[in-house]
């Protein structure tokens, strides 16, 4: 029999290419890759003394509501991922599995590897500043609808443009949100969405939306940034340094 009906599992998706991190011109990060011409692997780049991925996994490891996790990686990184999990003591990670050609394929494989539970959190491994509190708030928000996503209201003016870069219209930003992870779902709803929706989707909530299922928004965190470019990594370093600094007298 599976774990308690009230259980929360997590799928940490880290199967992307990370191509936008670029190629290092110096060995500032201590990776021994200076001048190698190889793109940085953002998952294992040091951030505040430990790899980016370790920060993301640690939040779920430390959250009492989370009972088990699955880490989804590219096939070529599976052995490295298993060693990584063992070396860092992430004993809630029960499986390290390979991803698919699309993000949604990787999530589906992770959900299937996780196995039945009442709730599942889907999180991008490249969002290292996630906290246990945000996970718990998402679980609470999903209680009524079966699905909830963290999001921030857009602060900038948003314009829609055509292929020629000419503005078509200005959108009403009061109704627009920038969505983050972790996204929390009832396991059965998320599994159904991945089985029935085959069109490309940029996040899991969009798949439930395609089935007409309700998704609630709850307040995200401006600190919960996604590491996509070297500039994101610099910002995350600054955030961690500021949080570790003693309060001014």
User: What integer pLDDT is reported at residue 243 of this predicted model?
Assistant: 85
Predicted confidence band of residue 247 (pLDDT cuts 50, 70, 90): low
What is the mean predicted confidence (pLDDT) over 222-237? 95
Predicted confidence band of residue 53 (pLDDT cuts 50, 70, 90): very high
User: What integer pLDDT is reported at residue 6 of this predicted model?
Assistant: 60
Whether the predicted pLDDT of 39 surpasses 70: no
What is the mean predicted confidence (pLDDT) over 61-74? 97
- Residues in Cβ contact with 98 at an 8 Å cutoff, skipping those fewer than 6 apart: 15, 72, 73, 74, 75, 78, 109
User: What integer pLDDT is reported at residue 42 of this predicted model?
Assistant: 85
Whether the predicted pLDDT of 176 surpasses 60: yes
Predicted confidence band of residue 5 (pLDDT cuts 50, 70, 90): very low
The answer to whether residues 223 and 167 touch, using CB atoms and an 8 Å cutoff, is no
Count the Cβ atoms, other than its own, within 10 Å of residue 145: 15
Whether the predicted pLDDT of 148 surpasses 80: yes
| Average pLDDT of the chain to the nearest whole number | 89
d(CA 74, CA 86): 18
Q: Is 75 exposed, middle or buried (0-12, 13-18, 19+ CB in 10 A)?
A: exposed
User: Higher model confidence: residue 98 or residue 7?
Assistant: 98
Predicted confidence band of residue 179 (pLDDT cuts 50, 70, 90): very high
User: What integer pLDDT is reported at residue 29 of this predicted model?
Assistant: 41
């Amino acid at each position: 029999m599976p774990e308690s009906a009230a259980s929360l599992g997590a799928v940490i998706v880290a199967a992307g290419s990370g191509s936008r991190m670029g190629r290092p011109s110096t060995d500032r990060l201590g990776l021994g890759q200076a001048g190698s011409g190889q793109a940085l692997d953002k998952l294992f780049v040091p951030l505040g003394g430990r790899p980016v991925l370790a920060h993301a996994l640690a939040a779920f490891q430390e959250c009492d509501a989370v009972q088990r996790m699955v880490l989804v990686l590219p096939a070529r990184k599976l052995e490295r991922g298993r060693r990584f999990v063992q070396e860092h003591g992430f004993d809630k990670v029960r499986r390290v599995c390979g991803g698919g050609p699309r993000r949604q394929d990787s999530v589906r494989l992770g959900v299937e590897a996780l196995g039945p539970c009442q709730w599942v959190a889907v999180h991008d491994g490249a969002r290292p500043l996630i906290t246990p509190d945000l996970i718990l708030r998402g679980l609470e928000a999903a209680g009524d609808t079966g699905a909830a996503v963290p999001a921030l209201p857009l602060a900038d003016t948003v314009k829609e443009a055509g292929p020629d870069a000419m503005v078509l219209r200005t959108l009403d930003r009061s109704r627009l949100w920038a969505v983050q992870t972790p996204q929390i779902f009832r396991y059965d709803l998320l599994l159904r969405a991945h089985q029935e929706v085959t069109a490309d989707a940029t996040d899991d909530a969009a798949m439930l939306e395609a089935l007409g299922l309700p998704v609630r928004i709850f307040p995200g965190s401006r600190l919960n940034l996604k590491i996509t470019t070297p500039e994101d990594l610099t910002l995350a370093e600054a955030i961690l340094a500021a949080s570790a600094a003693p309060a001014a007298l």
